[in-house]
Amino acid sequence: MKFTRRIFLRGLLALAALGAGAPAGAQSASELIAGARNEGKLIIYGVTDSEQASHLIREFRSLYPAIKVDYSDMSTTELYNRFVAEVGAGGGDSADVTWSSAMDLQVKLVNDGYAQPHRSAETAQLPDWANWKNEAFGTTYEPIGFVYNKRLLPAADVPQSHAELVRLLNARPEQLKGRVNTYDPEKSGVGFMLITQDKHANAAGFAELQKALGAVQAKGLPTTATMMERIASGEHLIGYNVNAAYALTRAKKDPALGIVLPRDYTLVLSRVMFIARNARHPNAAKLWLDFVLSKRGQEIIASKAELYAIRPDVAGETTASGLQQQLGAALRPVQIGTGLLTYLDQAKRLEFLKQWNSTVKAK
């Protein structure tokens, strides 16, 4: 009885929070919660590790126990291909919500008409660059940096900027040959996006960076986990364009790993979430999106999932406000919008990969 009453009270508080400051004409919180309860289910396709996502899912279910959450963890390209194939085949039990760090692929899906709009008090808390058409929403603020083996790479050699990384690679090609890694842009959707964003942010130095990576025969790997495993083992010494959110979690358990957020510029990606246009559980999907963007959801992202909160009113080391204090103008958040579609044009994509592979890929 006490447990049931506690859930009821928490649900009332959550309802009040969702309703506070809701835009005119938006669905009321009571209607949203009642509709979600009747649907009783939520299907999420995501690339966030199940263990990290579970912190959010547990809290969501404690607030709304009538809603069963089915979460599928997959790679960025798998998510994109599976979702498109399932919708093309009639939808069925496909995702109500997709949540991916491959920002460009998410924007493409929204641009191609796969999403439905949603406006609420929570979506209004996002910075302008993280809300596109009220359909694609940034949910995290994840810095991209370098990861290195602290036992094997002397502190004096650790690069603090992209230019210093180039100088290190050029100065020690034999020592570093085959011992530097990065994403394989042909196998990793987020890896491809990050490299194209690097070219945009570092127009003057990008060609030199490519040549330097090629000179040491940098290894292209499909996942962040594999990159960090190779560095921690000592097989590789340094990783370029590694998601620092994942690296921070790993480094807490493995003292061999060091992390650098480059002081010239640090790219910031945000996991993009959207509600499927033909979602079978649209109310549950809206409730989930609002929960993830709520202050409580963002606090969980920062403290438990360690993916860096995007809301400016959440404080701490793993938050946008914390990074602003640390890096200021060096931060380069990747804007959600049509600019991300440039290199998804097949001809441009193939030309970029051809040029990258001819310069960087180990022979």
Look at residue 18 and tell me whether its pLDDT is greater than 60. Answer: no
CB contact at 8 A, 191 and 185: yes
The mean predicted confidence, pLDDT, of the chain is: 92
User: With pLDDT > 70 as the criterion, what percentage of the chain qualifies?
Assistant: 92
Would the pLDDT of 2 be above 50?
Answer: no
What does the pLDDT look like over 53-71, one tens digit per residue? 999 999 999 999 999 999 9
pLDDT for res 82: 96
Question: Does residue 163 surpass a pLDDT of 60?
Answer: yes
What are the phi and psi torsion angles at 133 (to 5°)?
Answer: 60, 20
C-alpha distances (whole Å) from 69 to each of 37, 79, 295 are 12, 17, 21
Q: What is the pTM of this model?
A: 0.90
Identify the pLDDT of residue 343: 93
Is 80 exceeded by the pLDDT of residue 8?
Answer: no
Q: Mean per-residue pLDDT for 104-115?
A: 97
Distance (Å, whole) CA 152 – CA 252: 18
Average pLDDT over residues 331-354: 95
Which domains can be identified in the chain, with CATH numbers? Answer: 2-139+272-313 (3.40.190.10), 142-268+339-359 (3.40.190.10)
The percent of residues in the chain predicted with pLDDT above 90, rounded, is 85
- What are the residues whose beta carbons fall under 8 Å from the beta carbon of 65, sequence distance 6 or more? 7
Evaluate if residue 354 carries a pLDDT over 60. yes
Greater pLDDT, 25 or 150: 150
